[in-house]
A and B are shown apart, each in its own frame.
Chain A
Amino acid sequence: MPVTLWGHLFRHARAYVLGGVMLLGFQVAMNRIDWQSKACVDEIFSGDPRGVVRPASFMLGLAVIAFVLRLASRWFIFNAGRDVEYEVRRLLLDRLHKLGAAFYRKMSAGEIMSRSTGDLLQVRLLFGFGVLNMINVVFAFGSALQVMLRISLSLTAASFVMVPFLVVTTRSLSKGLFARTRSNQEAIGRLSDVLQTNLAGVRVVRSFALEARERRRFDAANEAYLHAGLALARLRGLMFPMVGAVASLGVLSCFFWGGRLLVLGPEHGGISQGEFFAFWLALGRVTWPLIALGFSLSIVQRGRASYARLKEIFDAQQEVTDGGSAPVAISGALSVRGLTYTHGDRAVLSDVSFELPKGRSLAIMGRTGSGKSTLALLLARLLPTPERTVFVDGMDVCSLPLSTVRGAIGYAQQDAFLFSTTVARNIAFSLEDPDSAEAMEKVRVAAREAQVLEEALGLPESFDTVVGERGVQLSGGQKQRIALSRALAREPVILVLDDPLSAVDAKTEAAILDAISRQAAERTVLLITNRVAAARRCERIAVLDEGKVAEQGTHDDLVRAGGIYALFDREQSVKHELESLGEAV
């Protein structure tokens, strides 16, 4: 499917053509109705009043036909607009799934959401309302003009004096309207930012007695939103009077000039009452499409601009792409050779190498900012991994399909993100049939391993409790342990855990470490941590310092070596003592 405006249009060409045909039919029917009404009026007032039955019956029939055609035209075209919206939204998620960290650093979640709602709305309006009115205005104009010109050229000219004004007025009004809608949205965006910061920082605000300052900030934002809203209201309120006033100019000149022509009568170059009536109906019929023309032009313009903004997401450079080779089964040996990774002009990792044979365990140790999380992300190609640096079973990860690499290397990230679904669904995230008894058993086992089973069972609806924004709030530690269960339930060949213990207490930590040790007996484990207590559970430890492997070896080797690791060990045993001081008494 071509990702262009025309591509979408052609894809739904059938619906648009059918809708167009219906519109044409509708306008023809309306044209016929005008003529039938002329016949009626002329029969009544100038001919045989009883002769009205035929044209009046025709009118009734035509009205029903017009009803069906009008309904069908909207059905076809508006539905096509919704279909395009559906397509674009689907495409959007598809692209978002493929894009990596570089993209998400550039475009914030708020910005993405604003494009996927506001801009998508504009695109939908273009493909529905916009297209319908652009087609309709042509047919309506033709159909009404046929009536009007046949009746009187001069009256047509007189009635259409307002057309240019009407189009210009609606066009400029809708432009202004759009600009003010935007600034109104920006104003509420700023207001929620102020609130968000105030509430997220509520402790700071209170501890530092910043209430007065916060009040001023809020009042300013609230006031700005009020005024943006009123500015929009003024223009919106002005729209109908302006359009109405301009349109009434047309009605006025129609009645003025039409009146004169009526006075003359058809025999002296004027018009009959029936003709006047039909003309009036035709003029009324063409007014709305003309008003809509101004809006439609703006909708088309805005829709195109919005589409361009969506296209930035569609066309964003995909950093990580599938490797060419066929999917293979991975047995679990991992090796990193001379891995160097720079972000901007900062070297995050330089020349990192280590071997992790199948079924073994390795800890990557280092302070905050030593590059250990980046390393973990590079293994599963969650960042653009340089070619020929990371190998699984001796194969370059860049040459393998992404699904193979990520399926084999189970990476569990540091900040525990849970989806707003049930606890069970969160843990069973990677399982194919999350509701099967088998999956539930896995979920329970994983929860037990991650020391969260009892708490999960204690939730209002145990594993079926919905978590997240609208559900039950979990503590940071609970979230982290559920995220850990999710990683364990997946049972990957190579398990990569990025600091899974940052928010749990000492007792839970020990229990989780036991679980990790059991995992290490079953699969290849890579543990990212800054805790000696965790690192020493692994067979080997590699210490990262400023992006380089500073030392490697077993716990005992490294303690003896007296390097950075030994320093960590000393520092942390003191901390550990402080922490467990209570337990010791």
Chain B
Amino acid sequence: MSARPGQTATEAKLKAFHEESALGKAYDIRLIRRLWPFVLPHWRWIAVSFAALLSMAALNLVRPLLMGEVVKHAASRDAALVMRAGAVLAASIVVQQLIGFVQMYALQNAGARSMADLRARIFSFLQRLRLSYFDRTPVGRLVTRATNDVDAVNEVFASGVLNAVGDLLQLVGIVGLMLALDWRLALIAFASMPIVGLLVNFVRKRSREAFRDIRTKTARLNSFLNEQVSGIAVVQAYAREAQMADEFDAINRQYRDANKASIYYEAILDAAIEMVSTLCIASVLWWVGFRGVGDHVVTFPLVVTFSQYIKQFFEPVSLLAQRYTILQGAMAGAERIFQLLDEPEVESESSEGGAPPARSGDARVATVAFEGVGFSYKPGVPVLRDVSFQVNRGEKVALVGATGAGKSTVLSLLLRLYEHDAGTISVTGRDVRDIARRSLREMFAVVPQDVFLFSGTVLGNLAMADDAPDRARAERALDRIGARELFERRPGGLDAPVDERGANFSAGERQLLAFARALYRDAPIVVLDEATASIDSDTEARLQVALEAVMENRTSIIIAHRLSTIRAADRIVVFHKGRVVETGTHDELIGREGMYARLHRLQFSGAPPAVASVPSVRG
């Protein structure tokens, strides 16, 4: 489709971007070979389906003969024979339909089951993908791989594209039988075929293009509308409704016109097939009358049989264009799926070695040590350099430093969310690389800055890993942080519903739930990223209580933002640009006159901090 006059370069580019061909080749042996292992375990269904398909094709070929038989007996004026032939005909139709059911159902079974396996495989793969992959890939795109793209592949089974094989056999069979029955009549019947062939070919090509056009336009249309809905606040605030409506109208119009083109081609095909069977019957009759009856070559039953064959001949032809598009869509979907599955950034499970360390809730076994640890997210941009520090059993250590100094990265490496590049990280004296990730992570209770709640109930969110949450334990956890009545006050109490991402809970409540979660988990090491958001003073006080409760009798590592938290720590590790610059207790650091001491002086001298004393620009 050529660019509209007046269309700018950007518009043309955007159009190309959004309508970038969503369809690939219709047949790609490489992709089929990779899909095969998923289908193979369900080969029995496929076998049943193909057997059924063959018998259906055979029955289909016999049907016109049976019809002729009925008419023949009628002509011979024998009522009993007519009756019997009629019964055979009806029975054959019913049997054929039943086999048809078996055939489609078996095929769909094979498809649905292998696609469920494929989805499960994608899910497992996603669980092993490194976090760095998620950092640059939107979640929606990954969800699409496991849902829409798999469904596109499944369409091949669900829509019966594979039945084209049966159709082809049938076409050959029909032609063969017609020639065998009466080759001259068959040739007459096929006389109009070239014209029809040309017509079908003409329509098929264009109709395929129209289908492709519709597909890309549909995607564009829906994503535009979706964006208008999610960005409605921006559209309204900028008063751009009219312009957005115009833009939408252009897409909506193109979509409609693409559909109209397709309607036209489909209608041609549909009407042509209706016409062709009449044409064939007329030419057969014409030939029979003109030439045939004299030497008794052509009988009335044969005319009936031929007419029926002609009708059956054109049914599969009408489905060709549609099937081709489905196949293309499926291949494009498979291509995207395997592209994802080929992603090399997966967590290796090579480090499964050794049984998990003893886990007893006894805080004394847990120690954490970093030794010369280095790490970078992007090659060449180190985030941590030669970081060493130790957290002894039962100790509370505060990590302090500017945003971007590397504190959060320390936590991520500790849990092996990312793998460190240099040095050693050990937990209870063992290298984290020698502990299976799962066992390692079970030793930690994490309280993140940005609390993620799952949709479900309050209790379910507290218990998280438990399928059967322990209510008493959850209540005790809430008691310890002094927030039990706060949550029990809500309608439903602990069974109160939690919306998607905890949208119906305030930031403070979410923080409290995260603390309760950590207590419920009762892990030997607590890892805490203190929230920086300002919350009301009542919640602030509650959080302080919760913080103390969680750290009690546990090894704790806290990324601290509040001075009160820092002072409560046994030791403080000061980070600066990815390095540890100071370590020590509060008193030691004060005595050392370093960075920490400066900060402390500023805080308690009461003088306005120098940095903040820039005068306001006007007035």
Contacts and interface: CB of A to CB of B under 8 A. Distances in A.
B120 to A, nearest CB: 6
Given A192-B146, A244-B96, A260-B82, 14 more contacts: A52-B290, A70-B271, A70-B274, A74-B266, A85-B256, A113-B225, A211-B127, A233-B108, A244-B94, A420-B223, A422-B13, A429-B238, A466-B17, A530-B534
A284 B126 CA distance: 54
A583 B108 contact: no
Given A195-B123, A260-B82, A67 B275 contact: yes
A406 B233 CA distance: 12
A12 to B, nearest CB: 13
Given A96-B229, A256-B86, A67 B237 contact: no
B611 A90 contact: no
Nearest to A584: B598
B536 A369 contact: yes
Contacts of B227: 419-420
A356 to B, nearest CB: 13
Interface in A543-575: 554-555, 568-569, 571, 573-575
B21 interface: no
Interface in B579-619: 581, 595, 598-599, 602-603, 608-609, 611-612, 614, 616-619
Interface in B457-493: 464-465, 467
Given A44-B285, A554-B619, A580 B82 contact: no
A-B pairs with lowest CB-CB distance, top 5: A52-B289, A259-B82, A241-B97, A56-B286, A59-B282
Most buried by A among B266, B405, B608, B619: B619
Interface in A217-247: 218-219, 222-223, 225-226, 229-230, 233-234, 236-238, 240-242, 244-245
Contact of B448 (A207, A410, A419): A207
Contact of B230 (A64, A109, A188, A577): A109
B232 interface: yes
A222 B119 contact: yes
8 contacts: A70-B271, A92-B225, A96-B232, A199-B134, A229-B154, A280-B304, A578-B401, A582-B576
Contacts of A196: 139-140, 143
A122 interface: no
- Majority-rule SS of B interface residues: helix
B77 A263 contact: yes
B256 A82 contact: yes
Given A40-B285, A82-B259, A473 B222 contact: no
A52 B100 contact: no
Interface in A488-544: 490, 505-506, 517, 520-521, 530, 532-533, 536-539
A203 B274 contact: no
B278 A52 contact: no
A201 B402 contact: no
A517 B617 contact: yes
A581 B151 contact: no
B417 A206 contact: yes
A18 to B, nearest CB: 14
A210 B75 contact: no
B321 interface: no
Contacts of B599: 577-578, 581
Contacts of B274: 66-67, 70
Given A59-B278, A79-B263, A435-B10, A259 B79 contact: yes
Interface in A409-425: 410-413, 417, 419-422, 424-425
Interface string B207-238: 00000000000000111011111111111111
B281 interface: yes
A219 B120 contact: yes
A106 interface: no
Interface in A307-358: none
B288 A52 contact: yes
A154 interface: no
Nearest to A483: B234
B568 interface: no
